[in-house]
Amino acid sequence: MDLSIVIALLNEEESLPELVSWIDRVVKEANLTTELIMIDDGSTDTSWQVIQNLKKEYDYIKGIKFRRNYGKSAALNVGFEKATGEVVLTMDADMQDSPDEIPELYAMIKNEHYDIVSGWKQKRHDPIGKTIPSKFFNMVTRKFSGIKLHDFNCGLKAYDKEVVKNIEIYGDMHRYIPVIAKMNGFHKITEKVVEHRARKYGVSKFGVGRMMYGFLDLTTVLFLGKFAKRPMHFFGTWGIFFMLIGFAILSYLTIVKMIYNTGGIATRPLFFFGILTLIIGTQLFVTGYVAELVSRNAVDRNNYKIAEEIT
């Protein structure tokens, strides 16, 4: 199988027939053996019935329906598990992504041997309330991840099969798949300017709440990528730092009391600050021990990714 196209969708009954027809024309012209995996993420309209009807016309369609809405990350993760193509491509169902980009994205993975090619919607047809937060989070993600992409959240991406079979996404982590892939050893990541079309049917499924969720998800990805298997390196370092500050403050107050015979130190604000930092440091250090115990007993504690093997 040359290509697996994974589409996560929610209430897109109007766009699906036109989108699938467009995809069918493009992959046939490119002579690509294709499977189209459509994941209905708990739609409340007739999207699932539309998929069932499309299956009768296009036999390479595969459909999965969730009992309720679990989110785009869950839908993509299931799609990645089911994909069998050498190249896996994701796109949105709202027809803002152009299927005409498929052949070039496929060629960049297959012929130029990239791990990920991410779409860059250089010219966007979205309201300002969506574009400004997107630019901000793209800037922050570039800075902290070291991946030079302009549009991390573009739904139009192509992956080498090895990438999607070696990562797991959940929550709303689909925004940061390139970051997760890099942390799993896939470094050949690039981008391609793609056409972004104005929405023709339906309404956007994303609200302003994505701003806060996006920031929290980024901190989670960065923390887990660096400290998931060695949490004591994070908690222990900060614990020792705060304990040293607290110990230094209390030692200073004790020495001043002994040498200069000043009044009681228990009434000084600095004393309470020293106690507070000592307690915080101790708590962080103990948290590190507990996290290490959890990590050492996790079933995937030695689940390392092997790229190649000679026996």
254 in the same domain as 214:
no
CA distance 92 to 80: 15
pLDDT (tens place) for every residue of the chain, 311 residues total: 999 999 999 999 999 999 999 999 999 999 999 999 999 999 999 999 999 999 999 999 999 999 999 999 999 999 999 999 999 999 999 999 999 999 999 999 999 999 999 999 888 766 666 677 778 888 888 888 889 999 998 999 999 999 999 998 887 788 889 999 998 889 999 999 998 887 777 666 555 555 666 677 777 777 877 777 788 888 999 999 999 999 999 998 888 888 877 667 777 889 899 999 999 999 999 998 898 888 777 656 555 555 565 65
CA distance 295 to 276: 28
242 in the same domain as 193:
no
Q: Is the dihedral of CA 126, 129, 134, 139 positive or negative?
A: positive
Contact 157, 119 (CB under 8 A): yes
Beta strands 157-160 and 87-90 are antiparallel
Report helix, strand or coil for 120. Answer: strand
In a domain, 109, yes or no: yes
Domain of 149: which CATH number? 3.90.550.10
Report helix, strand or coil for 127. Answer: coil
254 in the same domain as 182:
no
Q: What is the pTM of this model?
A: 0.78
Where does 1-127 have alpha helices with state H? 16-29, 47-57, 72-82, 102-110
262 in the same domain as 184:
no
Query: What is the domain range of residue 283?
Result: 231-296
245 in the same domain as 218:
no
What pLDDT is attached to residue 301? 56
In a domain, 171, yes or no: yes
Q: CA torsion 209→125→143→162, rounded to 10°?
A: 90
